Amino acid sequence: AAHRRHRRRHARPHAATMAPILSETCDQALLRDFDLSATQCLSLALSKALGLAIIAASFTLKVPQIMKIVRSGSVEGLSFSMFFLESLVFIIASMYGVVNALPVTAYGELVIIFVQCYVLVYLQYRHTTGVGAQFVAYTALLVAFCVTSYTGVLPLEALQMLQTSTVALTIASKLPQIYQNFAARSSGKLDLFMVLLQTAGGAARVFTTLQETDDKILLLGYVIGCALNGTLLAQVLTFGDKSAAAAAKKTKAKAKKSD
């Protein structure tokens, strides 16, 4: 009986991947009848389009931050806990979306952003303590979580609890970086483009979540994440990278002295 329940629960994600982007009613109203008075369908279509745009944009979300670290060979001014906890938030939310058969347009970018966070965690280990047993254990934990979630070994109730915990994890991931920026009056190597996209994407996700699901846990996570990313954006615009400015000033002074 338990095996049958397990199969019924996990048949939904596979069915969801074959589902049309719009419902049959909206497909008829918008694509066949061109009925622009169907406001509910128009809102849904806009939500789907935004969702697909967010997924497309997510491929480059953290790439500028990755490249900034690679070029500078430094993670100065970056909070390790931010990217580490973000990776946990994104992998939990991704598996929550898969197991609960949510529309891919409602969470698809989370998988892509997780991969980028994983790379950033790797780079932080590489430029600090080195890639060793801790990073291997972190990777093994992520793999085990994905396998047990998808196969049903991890109960759905436990996954829901973990998804609820992502709200606290989101706050915990951002606050150290926000405090660090405020204390140093500098945003360090934090990339403006990445934070800008995260803030805009979070705002769009609030809208798409309201349109496509009635999942309050998912919505709360997006609202809080958007607010915290907005705070980081304000700090990057206000403070900038003081370490880079100081280094440039020092180089200029040295060159002037040698002349």
Please report the beta strands in the chain, taking only residues with DSSP state E, as ranges in sequence order. Answer: none
Which of 99, 86, 101, 102 shows the shortest CA–CA distance to 148? 99
Please work out, in degrees rounded to the nearest 5, the angle formed at the alpha carbon of residue 12 by the alpha carbons of 53 and 111: 35
Which of 231, 209, 240 shows the shortest CA–CA distance to 222? 209
DSSP 81-114: HHHHHHHHHHHHHHHHHHHTT--GGGTHHHHHHH
- For the chain, the average pLDDT equals 79
Q: What is the mean pLDDT of residues 53-68?
A: 84
How high is the pLDDT of residue 101? 84
How high is the pLDDT of residue 139? 95
* In contact, 176 and 53? CB cutoff 8 Å: no
More reliable by pLDDT, 173 or 246: 173
How high is the pLDDT of residue 251? 52
CA separation, residue 185 to residues 75, 188, 230, 246 (Å):
17, 9, 17, 13
pLDDT tens, residue by residue, 160-182: 899 888 888 888 888 888 988 88
Banded model confidence at residue 12, pLDDT cuts 50, 70, 90: very low
Percentage of the chain with pLDDT > 70? Answer: 78
